[in-house]
Amino acid sequence: MNQSAPVLTVDGPGGAGKGTISRLVADQLGWYLLDSGALYRLTALAASRHAVALDDEAGLAHVAAHLDVTFQTGGDTPQVLLEGEAVSGAIRTEQMGDAASRVAALPAVRKALLQRQRDFRQAPGLVADGRDMGTVVFQDAPLKIFLTASAEERARRRYSQLREAGVDASLSSLLKDIQARDARDMQREVAPLVPAEDAVELDTTHLTIPEVVDRLTELLANRGLVTVT
Ligand code: DC
């Protein structure tokens, strides 16, 4: 970990485009990327594989603290390995997203994952994608973004992604899931989903992906964190 390395935090509700945008900005700058949601999804998957119940807080915290995870970067398709097995697809299902949101509401699990997330801070910089990156994990980040989009638009984006992947989906049930997950993430007692006081809020409902990336690059440049050529 390098405390002085700059961090761009990208928080917001599921489906606002955080993952795609964070990856593009990190690639463009040559910075490291933390997909913190993946750590909660991996905890949920490891728990189900080791038969730990989703309401067993101490058991889940133990699973989180001992996660055997490798993020393979480089190459065209980054892979996540859990105990040596490729699980990038297995952690992306709606079911695992729901389980992740449940384990993420448990304080002992969040505590167990805190240092692991901070260890991603390395020079030349880090883009950190999540819900509490700016409010809890990297409170001193020099640029904090809160990315939003209407629930309807987020459901539509998820629907198109699933259809493109050949997965059968219903727009109305996706919308219901998104609303339920938003409510759980925003109302939990520990590290709820709220913008940091010093975050820049960006509504992406009517913006394209390149427009959002440009806006973030501009903000980074305005704060002297990158030089634009
Ligand atoms: O971003 P995602 O959909 O992969 O996240 C999965 C769940 O994990 C989400 O419902 C909320 C939780 N999460 C969290 O509580 N804190 C984070 N920093 C990232 C994700």
**pLDDT over threshold 90, residue 9:** yes
User: Residues near ligand 1 with C-beta < 6 Å?
Assistant: 14, 36-37, 40-41, 97, 100-101, 104, 130-132, 181, 185
Give the tens place of pLDDT for each residue, 68-82.
999 987 767 778 999
Give the tens place of pLDDT for each residue, 104-142.
999 999 999 999 999 999 999 999 999 999 999 999 999
Closest among 25, 18, 74 to 226, alpha carbons compared: 25
Ligand 1 atom with the smallest distance to the CA of 133 is 18
Q: What is the DSSP letter of 105?
A: T
Ligand 1 atom with the smallest distance to the CA of 188 is 15
**pLDDT over threshold 90, residue 216:** yes
Confidence band of 203 (pLDDT split at 50, 70, 90): very high
Give the tens place of pLDDT for each residue, 11-48.
999 889 999 999 999 999 999 999 999 999 999 999 99
Confidence band of 228 (pLDDT split at 50, 70, 90): low
Report, as an integer, the average pLDDT of 141-149. 97
- For the chain, what are the domain ranges? 7-215
In the reported structure, the alpha carbon of residue 100 is separated from the centroid of ligand 1 by a whole-number distance in angstroms of 7
Helix 209-222 and helix 18-29, axial crossing angle in degrees, nearest 10: 50
Say what the pLDDT of residue 229 is: 64
Q: What is the reported pTM?
A: 0.92
Q: Which of 26-30, 50-54, 186-190, 203-207 has the lowest mean pLDDT?
A: 186-190
Q: So what CATH class is 7-215?
A: alpha beta
Percent of the chain having pLDDT more than 90? 80
